[in-house]
Amino acid sequence: MTPLISALVVGVVFLTSTLSGIFGMAGGMLLLAGLLTILPVATAIALQGAIQIVANGSRAWFSRHFIDWRIMSTMVAGIVVAAALLFLVRYQPDLATVCIAVGLMPILVWLPRSWLQLDASRPLHGFFCGFISGGLNLAVGVAGPSIDIFFIRTQMDRRKVIATKSCMQVISHGAKVVFYSATTVAMATGDWILVAIAAPFAIAGTNLGYRILQRLSDDGFRQWTRWIVTMLGIFYLARGILLLASP
């Protein structure tokens, strides 16, 4: 990458880490959108995963006292099963499919709560949360909305939601980096150098977002999350449709 592109990526990492620190998922969608404009699909997904490990890891660390480890164990089991299945079929992503899949995800955050009797605190539901969101994260690079639908009926406040989701995302993104390293030549030495350069900015952005989160109400947190994710979804969907329509 050129120095200018590297500088732009670092700036986007800081902004998206701040956004993720506040809302828990929108930052990953925005970061992937930027990386997909300059990198091959598999490389973009793997690089986004490596950066998100740092961002989510620092967010999980800042809020570590709020992590629900019982829920975590069931979700991790689901991630492992999803990763094994995708590895067996030798899954390879393509840009149009990734964009359309990510673009449709925000529909999930608008479904009436009465339609979804899902609760991540139930062991079986927690497993399927890890399986579905982990599979989507591996396949298309992000899975935030698919995680959120399993948390809207829990009795957890916004701090526990962010902490537990962040910890799970560290494992899910780690699986993504390993998966693409095993199935494609996804990341070169220069990509790892960029991750190392961007890491402090990811942590700084996450710290800023965490501080802003403490000032939000639970209702404000959920409402802002819906609209931001929806706007990003519209962008992805439009790009995916244009890719399919182009010769």
The more confidently predicted of residues 55 and 84 is 84
If residue 10 lies in a helix (H) or strand (E), which one and from where to where? helix 3-23
H-only helix segments in 63-157: 69-88, 95-104, 107-110, 123-140, 144-148
Q: Say how many domains are in the chain.
A: 1
Average pLDDT along the chain: 83
Q: How large is the average pLDDT for residues 170-175?
A: 90
Give yes or no for residue 222 having a pLDDT over 80: no
pLDDT in the model for residue 229: 81
pLDDT at 93 over 70: yes
The domain of 63 spans 3-245
Nearest Cα to Cα of residue 57 among 166, 161, 198, 193: 166
pLDDT of residue 6: 80
Check whether 3 has a pLDDT greater than 90: no
